[in-house]
């Protein structure tokens, strides 16, 4: 059996802006993972996951034994990850085989509600890692990230891939996305193997960063899941009556991310926290100007409580529910924040930043 684990992630700054190619964001991977276990099978492939209920998702190959056939092919991240690796395997001339995948997640609660820690990204990354080993493709970490991004944009063309980079490389990263429309086109015209090394793609877009040693991270879960895709669409296509000052948002977001990364370099926790606070203000303005509920009532409460007691706080990722983060200096007692969160139905998620492993 092959077993691969991929961590979830949190957005620390730069969300929404990062959807524009070249715009930077800061993310951190967390020490909660999705695990994919792969075993070889004979007559069909099965994917066992709580996402599909009790019955596994079953696929077979076409009469040539090559392509995957599903009667009703849902837009599914696992299947998209399988398809992209299958296309690469086929172009390498490696013979097709059947396999079963068993997926388990630490990124949901006991009843399967998602925390919003990037489970789609993590399952895509872990599936690709498992198949890389199964077919002995010998992919580099950056190639696995690139495959994960190609698999993801086949389903969600706007996705920045920040979650995939965090999940692939671990630790804290600065990330900026490539031109996904150009990559998608390149893949369609020239195939996956060529897309991995095309000129549209300089590198992974990720660099490792190290936060000030005294920075502490708290994560609160609102209990209501959000739809990232829906929110991103809304922010990027505002109604006529509300022209969106998206350009000024992206340039202010870039300034914030740059200042945050500089503060990390200088080991300056106070400046880092100031820029997290500023990121929250930018997201609030973006929400107002686009008519999107990025900061829901529960997220506002979560952040206000943390700010009242001296931390810097913001929604993580698309907002609209899911979770929020509070960062503070180690000297700040966090007991009051946690007590108030609990009193208002905000659950603390006990997790820590994931330790970076391997280069980028």
Tell the smallest beta-carbon distance from residue 318 to ligand MEV (Å): 4
Q: Which helix (H) or strand (E) holds 98?
A: strand 98-105
Distance CA 95, CA 74 (A): 25
36 is written with which tokens? 């994919």
Would you count residue 16 as binding ligand MEV (CB under 6 A)? Answer: yes
Tell the smallest beta-carbon distance from residue 216 to ligand MEV (Å): 22
Distance CA 272, CA 210 (A): 12
Determine the interface stretch with ligand MEV among 8-16, 34-42, 72-80, 134-142 (rule: CB under 6 A): 8-16
Nearer to ligand MEV, 47 or 173 (CB): 173
Tell the smallest beta-carbon distance from residue 281 to ligand MEV (Å): 17
Would you count residue 222 as binding ligand MEV (CB under 6 A)? Answer: no
* Pairing status of strand 57-61 against strand 45-48: antiparallel
3-state secondary structure of 35: strand
Residue of minimal Cβ distance to ligand MEV: 317
Would you count residue 232 as binding ligand MEV (CB under 6 A)? Answer: yes
Build a one-symbol-per-residue string for 185-214: x at contacts with ligand MEV by CB under 6 A, - elsewhere.
------------------------------
- The site for ligand MEV, by CB under 6 A, has a size of 12
Query: Which listed residue (212, 315, 317, 324) binds ligand MEV by CB under 6 A?
Result: 317
3-state secondary structure of 174: strand
Tell the smallest beta-carbon distance from residue 259 to ligand MEV (Å): 19
Nearer to ligand MEV, 10 or 215 (CB): 10
Nearest partner of 320 among 301, 296, 289, judged by Cα:
296
Tell the smallest beta-carbon distance from residue 94 to ligand MEV (Å): 31
Query: Which listed residue (6, 13, 19, 26) binds ligand MEV by CB under 6 A?
Result: 19
Would you count residue 86 as binding ligand MEV (CB under 6 A)? Answer: no
Helix intervals (H) in the chain? 77-92, 119-134, 141-153, 162-169, 180-190, 192-196, 228-236, 246-265, 269-290, 297-308, 335-343
> Among residue numbers 154 through 183, which ones bind ligand MEV (CB under 6 A)?
159-160, 162
Query: Which listed residue (11, 172, 264, 309) binds ligand MEV by CB under 6 A?
Result: 11
DSSP string across 230-298: HHHHHHHS--TTS---HHHHHHHHHHHHHHHHHHHHTT-HHHHHHHHHHHHHHHHHHHHHHT--SS-HH
Q: How far is CA 136 from CA 88, 101, 253, 358, in A?
A: 12, 17, 41, 19
Contacts of 303 (CB under 8 A, 6+ apart): 280, 295, 313, 314, 315, 324, 326
Tell the smallest beta-carbon distance from residue 232 to ligand MEV (Å): 5
> Among residue numbers 93 through 112, which ones bind ligand MEV (CB under 6 A)?
none
Query: Which listed residue (167, 228, 290, 292) binds ligand MEV by CB under 6 A?
Result: 228
Query: Which listed residue (7, 8, 13, 15) binds ligand MEV by CB under 6 A?
Result: 15
How many residues does the structure list for the chain?
A: 360
Q: For binding to ligand MEV (CB under 6 A), which residues are involved? A: 11, 15-16, 18-19, 159-160, 162, 228, 232, 317-318
């Amino acid at each position: 059996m092959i077993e691969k684990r991929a961590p979830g992630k949190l957005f620390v700054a730069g969300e929404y802006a990062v959807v524009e190619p070249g715009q930077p964001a800061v993310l951190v991977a967390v020490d909660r993972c999705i695990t994919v276990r792969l075993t070889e099978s004979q007559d069909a492939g099965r994917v066992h996951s709580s996402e599909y209920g009790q019955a596994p998702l079953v696929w077979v190959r076409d009469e040539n034994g090559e392509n995957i056939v599903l009667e009703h092919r849902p837009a599914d991240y696992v299947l998209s990850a399988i398809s992209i690796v299958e296309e690469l395997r086929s172009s390498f001339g490696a013979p097709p085989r059947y396999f079963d995948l068993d997926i388990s997640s630490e990124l949901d609660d006991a009843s399967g509600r998602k925390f919003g820690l990037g489970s789609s990204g993590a399952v895509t990354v872990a599936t690709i890692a498992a198949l890389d080993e199964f077919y002995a493709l010998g992919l580099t970490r950056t190639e696995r990230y690139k495959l994960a991004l190609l698999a993801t944009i086949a389903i969600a063309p706007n996705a920045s891939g920040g979650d995939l980079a965090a999940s692939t490389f671990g630790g804290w990263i600065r990330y900026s996305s490539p031109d996904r429309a150009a990559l998608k086109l390149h893949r369609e015209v020239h195939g996956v193997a060529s897309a991995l090394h095309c000129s549209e793609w300089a590198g992974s877009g990720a660099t490792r960063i190290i936060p000030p040693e005294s920075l502490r991270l708290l994560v609160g879960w609102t209990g209501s899941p959000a739809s990232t895709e829906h929110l991103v669409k809304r922010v990027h296509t505002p109604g006529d009556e509300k022209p969106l000052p998206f350009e000024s948002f992206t340039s202010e977001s870039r300034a914030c991310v740059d200042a945050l990364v500089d503060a990390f370099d200088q080991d300056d926790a106070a400046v880092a926290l100031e820029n997290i606070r500023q990121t929250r203000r930018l997201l609030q303005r973006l929400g107002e100007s686009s008519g999107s509920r990025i900061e829901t009532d529960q997220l506002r409460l979560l952040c206000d409580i943390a700010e009242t007691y001296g931390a810097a706080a913001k929604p993580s990722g698309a907002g609209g529910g899911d979770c929020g983060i509070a960062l503070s200096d180690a000297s700040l007692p966090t007991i009051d924040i946690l007590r108030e969160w609990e009193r208002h139905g905000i659950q603390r998620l006990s997790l820590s930043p994931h330790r970076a492993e391997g280069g980028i």
